[in-house]
């Protein structure tokens, strides 16, 4: 059954304060590494990622280039650290209240929680999406990071994300979530109605996609069964041929 988008942006329960605390912990600078990530995101909200130099980030973070190099090798490495902090903030929350829900409902809640944690960096995300549309290599790099994050989000929702099939699920979810982000960056409704509707539609498409992927994943098994039947027939034919000289 499809979720009604207007139901809620995320669960309003006793875990809500913990969620806000997790988001604050992810955003609050606590050392050179966190200061660098925060400075990079602030610059990204105002400029394209192609325009941001390492010296700019060091100056904005109040660290030396040596300190910056000690923490990160590139702007993409800083971005990866940011996404990891988002993953950790979502994973740190208590999701026991979702245990009895269907997988689609659990994934809906996990991804809405992810968007809540990302809310302070909405302008930075908008800027990054604009750059990605014009920069295919950047798109590929972002996709790799997104797939890794979505493997964790699937796991948080109790959906298997390991092995070839899990990787396909994570890749599909990364593409679907990117479409949801396009709605989210332009959703000025405090209740995020457009975002929830977009996520609901995306997960509906994802369910159909997963069904198709599962069918495809059955192909090797079908081939194995066909091969077994062929071998049995082949062995039977060989047996008949072997019996003929003996009978003669």
- 184 vs 166: which has the higher pLDDT: 184
pLDDT confidence bin for 103, thresholds 50/70/90: confident
d(CA 218, CA 166): 14
**In the chain, what are the domain boundaries?**
16-221
Residue 134 has pLDDT above 80, yes or no: yes
pLDDT confidence bin for 237, thresholds 50/70/90: low
Q: For the range 20-24, what are the long-range contacts, defined as Cβ-Cβ under 8 Å and sequence gap of 24 or more?
A: 22/89, 22/90, 22/92, 22/93, 22/117, 23/89, 23/116, 23/117, 23/119, 23/120
Where b means 16+ CB within 10 Å and e means fewer, 191-230 reads ebebbbbbbbbbbeebeebbeebeeeeeeeeeeeeeeeee
User: What share of the chain in percent tops pLDDT 70?
Assistant: 71
Write the Ramachandran bin of 47: left for phi over 0, alpha for psi from -120 to 50, otherwise beta: beta
- Look at residue 185 in the predicted model and tell me its pLDDT: 96
- Look at residue 235 in the predicted model and tell me its pLDDT: 59
In this structure, of 30-39, 49-58, 73-82, 211-220, the range with the lowest mean pLDDT score is 211-220
pLDDT confidence bin for 94, thresholds 50/70/90: confident
Compute the average pLDDT of residues 215-221.
45
- 232 vs 29: which has the higher pLDDT: 232
The domain 16-221 having CATH identifier 1.10.357.10: the answer here is yes
Residue 116 has pLDDT above 90, yes or no: yes
Compute the average pLDDT of residues 14-41.
65
């Amino acid at each position: 059954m499809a979720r009604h988008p207007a139901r809620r942006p995320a669960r309003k329960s006793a875990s809500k304060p913990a969620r806000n605390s997790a988001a604050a912990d992810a955003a609050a600078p606590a050392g050179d590494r966190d200061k660098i990530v925060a400075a990079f995101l602030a610059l990204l909200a105002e400029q394209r990622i192609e325009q941001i130099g390492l010296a700019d980030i060091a100056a904005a973070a109040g660290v030396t280039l040596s300190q910056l190099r000690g923490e990160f090798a590139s702007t993409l490495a800083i971005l990866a650290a940011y996404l990891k902090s988002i993953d950790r903030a979502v994973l740190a929350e208590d999701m026991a209240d979702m245990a009895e829900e269907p997988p689609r409902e659990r994934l809906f809640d996990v991804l809405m929680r992810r968007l809540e944690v990302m809310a302070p960096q909405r302008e930075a995300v908008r800027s990054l999406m604009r750059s990605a549309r014009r920069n295919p290599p950047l798109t590929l790099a972002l996709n790799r990071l997104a797939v890794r994050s979505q493997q964790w989000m699937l796991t948080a929702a109790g959906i298997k994300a390991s092995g070839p099939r899990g990787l396909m699920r994570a890749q599909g979810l990364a593409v679907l979530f990117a479409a949801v982000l396009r709605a989210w960056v332009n959703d000025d409704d405090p209740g995020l109605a457009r975002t929830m509707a977009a996520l609901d539609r995306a997960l509906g498409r994802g369910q159909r996609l997963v069904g198709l992927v599962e069918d495809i994943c059955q192909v090797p098994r079908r081939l194995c069964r066909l091969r077994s039947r062929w071998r049995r027939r082949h062995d039977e034919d060989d047996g008949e041929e072997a019996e003929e000289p003996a009978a003669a």
